[in-house]
Amino acid sequence: MLDEFFMTRVAGLTGQAAAGVTVRSPDGRTPQQTISDSRARALELYEEQARIWSQSLCPALAAEGIVLSGVEELSETELHRLEQRYQEEVYPVLTPLAVGPGQPFPYISALSVSLAVFVRDPETGEERFARVKVPEGLPRFLSIGDGGRFVPLEQVLMHFLPSLFPGMEIVERSVFRVTRDADLEVSDEADDLLEAVEVELRRRRFGEVTRLEVSRTMSHALRERLKQGLRVADELVYPVTGMIDLEDASELAKLDRPDLKLDVWVPVPRPPLANVQAEEQFAVIRAGDLLVHHPYDSFAASFESFANECASDPDVIALKSTVYRTSDESPLVPALIEAAENGKQSVCIVEIKARGEERRNIEWSRAMEQAGVHVAYGFPSLKIHAKMTLVVRREGGVLRRYVHIGTGNYNSVTARAYEDFGLFTADEDIAADVADLFNYVTGFGRPGRFRKLLVAPFTLRQRLLDEIRAVAAAARAGKKARIRIKVNGLTHTEVIEELYAASEAGARIELIVRGMCALRPGVPGLSENIRVRSVLGRFLEHSRLFFFEAGDRTACYFGSSDLMPRNLDHRVEVVTPLEDVAAQSEVAATLDTLLSDNTSSWELRPDGRWERIRPKKDTRARSAQATMIRRARRRVTLARSR
């Protein structure tokens, strides 16, 4: 998350600062002030991370027999094993790059850990800078024997550096990492969006440096040499205590130690889909809207099964879907290809500007085009972030449309780790809206009036603002007034101002925001009735839910959009109403369960700091995600007993 912040947000700010932009953001800061404040906060986070790693996690791992140590702590036998492994597995893939006559400063790839080295010739006294990249294809933590001892790979390299510079004296060695601008800049007037993105991908590899992380023990001279070679200003240099890039610590979580892990959760098929054959799914959806909640409900037994059936069903004549982030395991793209090969109209809107997925999505799009799928790429200025699938089926001499709308991507891998909702419906108004939206993206024209869907950048922002204002009006009238919202990010100024106004009117507002939140709750005279929580459990809370209660009226929605300017104003997003009472009740119960969590929750304080929520004395521990697992199991048990 912090890496992405520097790759995109800081990249934009540094560009504005370099261009002399002085326009202030909604919080009153200039780009340069924002960079300075972000730097101060990031340095605090680095120190906190280092403290937790060294004082909490490492001792806890050691107590369980997983010891992280330096080379100097190894016994003679262990050191011999390490040297043998270094010679066989590490040394052959190392490439020292020295700087000198005919040897320019090397290109440093983004987010790769490297060693910066000063090397001296003892005979001539000549001293040179060199860079050694820590190989990415090897484990970051090398195991030593069978005793559960691990040594970070960069420490192994530093110990054996003389083997790379024979006859030379190693004056200094230290660790650093570079972050580069990863934002795509595609012109609104690009004639060929696919070609424009491919050009930008090549350019992005050499993007401007937005952060230089260096070991805090690095000397001033070595740091200055790096700054000079990378052309980095002081404000983009971040001294780090301890290990740089702790994301690789996830390797330790993959060790075969089931005794230290949560019980594996296998998603269960959702009734009534679990109880019918694939070809009967359409009848189930016709009977009423069907809600699924991943990863508690099986993605394979719901959307994947549905997509596969659509591709092979002879009565299905059209299959249309969107791809933002998918996986090699996902059946969606193969289903679209199979549908095309079976003579059906097969359409896919591929968002080739999806950050981090650009190359994969380009490859998918070409594979689909070769198979006869109609592939569209959307617009240069608008990302297609909506998660929607449309099926047209011939039934009894008439055409009927079926729709799936989700809060998350059609990705089989993340569906097992990300929490998301999906809706299967045969509602004609929703289906007509989805059909119109597909035609808008693939064709040429302006979208008309949407019947039920809230669609960005056209109606979504205004409709949500209207819902907030309706709750505020109910509060002023002394009626029931409550707002519950769950999103990944809340930064849209206009939305925040309306939430403040609703709070002042007396509405009860409960927000679950996993990531960025620019709203300050609990401020006297401004947001006293607003509470903000973040739930960080074994699954990534990813769904976007909106629940409004104004007097006797209840409105419930979910979809792909967060409450950020990019979502509401610069992307194609879809949020659907939930009109089924049972579906509304499930969403309401989910929100209340998350708000009552006291084991994996953090609460945002008025000063902008997050505070861990813990069970009070004599209060039962409540895990929201554990509760969801029990509910999913109970649904299956009840369905089997009927």
In whole angstroms, what is the distance from residue 80 CA to residue 607 CA?
A: 53
pLDDT digits (tens, 9 = 90+) for 372-381: 999 888 787 7
SS3 243: coil
Number of helices (H) and strands (E) in the chain: give both, helices first. 19, 27
pLDDT mean over 572-580: 97
205-229 in b/e form (b: 16+ CB < 10 A) is eebebbbbbbbeebeeebbebbbeb
Please, are residues 163 and 91 in contact by the beta-carbon 8 Å criterion? yes
SS3 370: helix
Task: Judge residue 132's burial from the number of C-beta atoms within 10 Å of its C-beta, 0-12 exposed, 13-18 middle, 19 or more buried.
Answer: buried
Catalytic residue from among 159, 293, 294, 385: 385
Tell me the CA distances in angstroms from 402 to 432, 447, 579, one per residue in order. 10, 20, 16
pLDDT of residue 355: 64
**Between residues 578 and 274, which one has the greater pLDDT?**
578
**For residue 204, pLDDT beyond 90:** no
**For residue 554, pLDDT beyond 50:** yes
Question: What are phi and psi for residue 151, nearest 5 degrees?
Answer: -125, 130
SS3 557: strand
Residue at 636: amino acid letter: V
List domains and CATH numbers for the chain: 67-260 (3.30.1840.10), 273-449 (3.30.870.10), 455-641 (3.30.870.10)
pLDDT of residue 1: 76
Summary mean pLDDT of the chain: 91
514-540 in b/e form (b: 16+ CB < 10 A) is beebbbbbbeeebbebbbbbbbebebb
- CB atoms near residue 120 (< 10 Å): 16
**For residue 244, pLDDT beyond 70:** yes
**What would the DSSP string read from start to end of 486-499?**
EES-B--HHHHHHH
pLDDT of residue 335: 94
In whole angstroms, what is the distance from residue 59 CA to residue 49 CA?
A: 15
**For residue 149, pLDDT beyond 80:** yes
pLDDT mean over 594-602: 97
Strand partners, 142: 151
pLDDT mean over 17-29: 80
Structure tokens at 178: 């570079």
Of 109, 6, 1, 14, the residue nearest 49 (C-alpha):
1
**Between residues 190 and 492, which one has the greater pLDDT?**
492
Cα of first residue to Cα of last residue in the chain, in angstroms, is: 45
In whole angstroms, what is the distance from residue 72 CA to residue 425 CA?
A: 63
Tell me if the pTM is above 0.85: yes
Q: Is 570 a catalytic residue?
A: no
Q: How far is CA 183 from the centre of its chain?
A: 15
pLDDT of residue 203: 54
pLDDT digits (tens, 9 = 90+) for 603-641: 999 999 999 999 988 889 999 999 999 999 999 888 777
With a CB cutoff of 8 Å and minimum separation 6, the contacts of 437 are: 386, 388, 447, 450, 453, 455, 572, 574
pLDDT band with cut points at 50, 70 and 90 for residue 197: low
